[in-house]
Chains A and B, each alone.
Chain A
Amino acid sequence: MAADSIAYLDNAASTPLCPEAVEAMAPLHRELYANPTGAHKMARDTRRRIDDARDVMAEALGSEPGEIVFTGGGTEGDNLAVVGRHMQVGGVTVCSAIEHHAVLEPVEHLGGRVVSVDATGVIDLDGLTAALDDDVSVVSVMLANNETGMVQPLVQVAEAVRSSAPNAVLHTDAVQAFPWLDVASLAADADLISVSAHKFGGPKGVGALVVRDGVELSPLLLGGGQERGLRSGTHNAAGITGMAAAAEVVLKSRAEQVVRLAGLRDLLVDGVQGAVPDVVETGERSGKVAGSAHLCFEGIESEALLFLLEDAGVYASAASSCSSGAQDPSHVLAAMGYDRMLAGGSLRLSLGYETTETDIDRALAVIPGAVARLRDYGTG
């Protein structure tokens, strides 16, 4: 199937590299290939790209350039924040039940506390306060959820942490939020902020973690001492450069894209709900990031629906895929109290900056028929 006949609605999983990033990265492959810590001119020129990128990411995330730590992506940033904090100061880790596995697994591994959410997928602030005390060393609450798109009340979370867990730092996984929300201002109270480039038009395998000045953190990778000793290893110079170029595009066009894509998302969700009976939109539309559409269809299984959508040129996803590629039941919907059967019929359609009305039209032309067909066949 030709690429132009595909409606790619899986931008929360990954996005196409934006042309600006492609262009910015090109010289790093064949011209500026030196190790940026080297002593010669090519090394210095390469290093300059990284320094420039650091300035861009600092502006994008509302930090000082010296507070940016380049990472290998969202999972590494999340791990560095949670595990690195725990390694440095011990104590108890806390997170919400709807965190990405990159936060949830470390917290559970470290025997931490997991805070419940309400039926719309928003953290229970009373529950959070109850989980906080002097022993807590790090609290991690995401800015926007990867499945439902629901934005979390980070300002209130920060207040709760300041008042009830004086020894804790606040980490926010802003991986899904960055294309849609002004992270610099919304996460201003967070001590640690992680983002991942490929979720906003940058390359895969690179991200950034804001580590505010004075936050004590232990590195996970030891070696040459790059990134203030918090992340050893030769810089992914091309990736970092591409990420910064993509971040610049986000800063420049985010406000406009949010309006455009929220409109398309509404068109999509309203269209599906108008054409398909027994479908539930998760969370609350007004609380979601602009690009997120998340629905649960009664009486069908996501895997089968995704198969038919793919056949018709619509690429989407359900919950998170496990490493084998199978669809696993969603821990997010389970935390929201969804019945396992209904949760098993979830569909996430995530829009991105390159999504057009044509993509939405195609999805709307395909989804109702696919759902009806699967319902006709029962529980296959």
Chain B
Amino acid sequence: MRVLAAMSGGVDSSVAAALLAEQGHEVVGVTLKLWGGESDTGCCSVSDVEDARRVADLLGVEHHVFNFGDAFDERVVAPYVNDHAVGLTPNPCIECNRHIKFDKLMVRAEALGFDAVATGHHARLETTGDGFRVQRGVDTAKDQSYVLYMLGQEQMARLLLPIGHMTKAEVRERAADLGLRTAAKPDSQDVCFIANRSGGRRGFLSRRLGDSPGTVVDADGTVLSSVESVRAVTIGQRRGLNLGGTDEPRYVTDVDIAASRVTVGRREDLYTETQPVTAIQWADEPVGGPVDIQVSAHGTPAVGVVDQAGRVDWEEPQRRVAPGQAVVFYQGDLVAGGAFAA
């Protein structure tokens, strides 16, 4: 097969490309240049591109750089900012997968004559009946199936996930055996286009949206404190609310952007029997019965039933999910679908 291997310059995608080359595929490596601004991870930096290129050289595969900066700004960064402006807590990695890696890159790969695209995600693809499902990676601590829930059948048919059957330790060991310069490179973390040294998420949002100072109130409306930016506050958040010491920890239970008001309450106030969701999508047919539902990248799933009308009914009450976060449905370790918390 002729495979376009997305190579970020990290160890996972390096080994993914190496395995494919080893299996005899005709591999071409590509590094996406997505972000030209500041970043802590060095993602998209010249040194990452150089790492990817040198790994490709070692593997004897050609390497290209695609500048998807405009699409990334338009489809990932701008929606991230706009979502925050209306009080949502988006997951930009998921939108990058949805619009950049598994849409724009896949379309380009097909146009350029590739049979498949490969990435270094810790997840597997399982054949079920006449279709595909995303399956959790073998390394459950590193499993990235959550950020792949949006994959449709057509995309899965053209996708390879070569390292999903390996643990991270095995990936690093393999990289070291192959002499890859990325073998000991630290894992990337946080949002790649936000730099902690420039005020992190709050600094980024205030530069884009201006400040959004607000008050922190309790359920009765009593003003407790103030925050510099309501837009950077998320449901369930406990820190950074300037509450000082309280007897019992207090959590954000509501964020009202229009009123510039954050409401806090007790832990139990966060719990709910139903979770509204939107933009439900399924890998295959909708599942009517109970599914395991995961609401954060590495969270523990809870059982619930998805109502197509836009609701998850929990078997046991669960903490409310910040609107905008992905809610991913599993059957066993297979991804059945997902949605956004509303």
Contact = CB atoms under 8 A, between A and B. Distances in A.
B115 to A, nearest CB: 14
Given A379-B104, A380-B104, A327 B110 contact: no
Contacts of A308: 112-113
Interface stretch (B60-68, B201-209, B287-295): B60-68
Contacts of A377: 107-108, 110-111
Contact of B65 (A304, A326, A340, A379): A326
Interface string A306-337: 01100100000000001111111100000000
B113 A304 contact: no
A374 interface: yes
Contact of A325 (B49, B109, B111, B113): B49
Contact of A328 (B67, B108, B112): B67
B133 interface: no
A41 interface: no
A380 B45 CA distance: 23
Given A311-B113, A326-B65, A326-B67, A380 B33 contact: no
A374 B109 CA distance: 11
Given A303-B67, A308-B113, A324-B49, 9 more contacts: A304-B111, A311-B112, A322-B67, A324-B31, A324-B46, A326-B65, A328-B67, A380-B109, A380-B111
Interface of A: 301, 303-304, 307-308, 311, 322-329, 340, 344, 373-374, 376-380
A378 B107 contact: yes
Interface of B: 31, 33, 45-46, 49-50, 53, 64-67, 69-70, 104, 106-113
A125 to B, nearest CB: 33
The list of the 3 closest CB pairs from A to B, nearest first, reads A380-B108, A380-B107, A377-B111
A374 B65 contact: no
A372 to B, nearest CB: 11
Interface of A is mostly: loop
A324 to B, nearest CB: 4
Interface of B is mostly: helix
Contacts, number: 56
Nearest to A374: B111
A302 B109 CA distance: 14
Contacts of B53: 325
A328 B53 CA distance: 18
A379 B107 contact: yes
A34 B70 CA distance: 52
Contact of A307 (B31, B45, B107, B112): B112
A307 B64 contact: yes
Contacts of B69: 326
B66 A303 contact: yes
Contacts of A380: 104, 106-112
Given A304-B111, A307-B112, A323 B46 contact: yes
> Which has the most chain B C-beta neighbours within 10 Å: A323, A326, A344, A378?
A326
A374 B112 CA distance: 8
Contacts of B46: 323-324
Contacts of B107: 377-380
A325 B70 contact: no
Contacts of A378: 107
A331 to B, nearest CB: 14
A378 B104 CA distance: 10
Contacts of A325: 49, 53, 64-65
B66 A326 contact: yes
Contacts of B113: 308, 311
A6 to B, nearest CB: 14
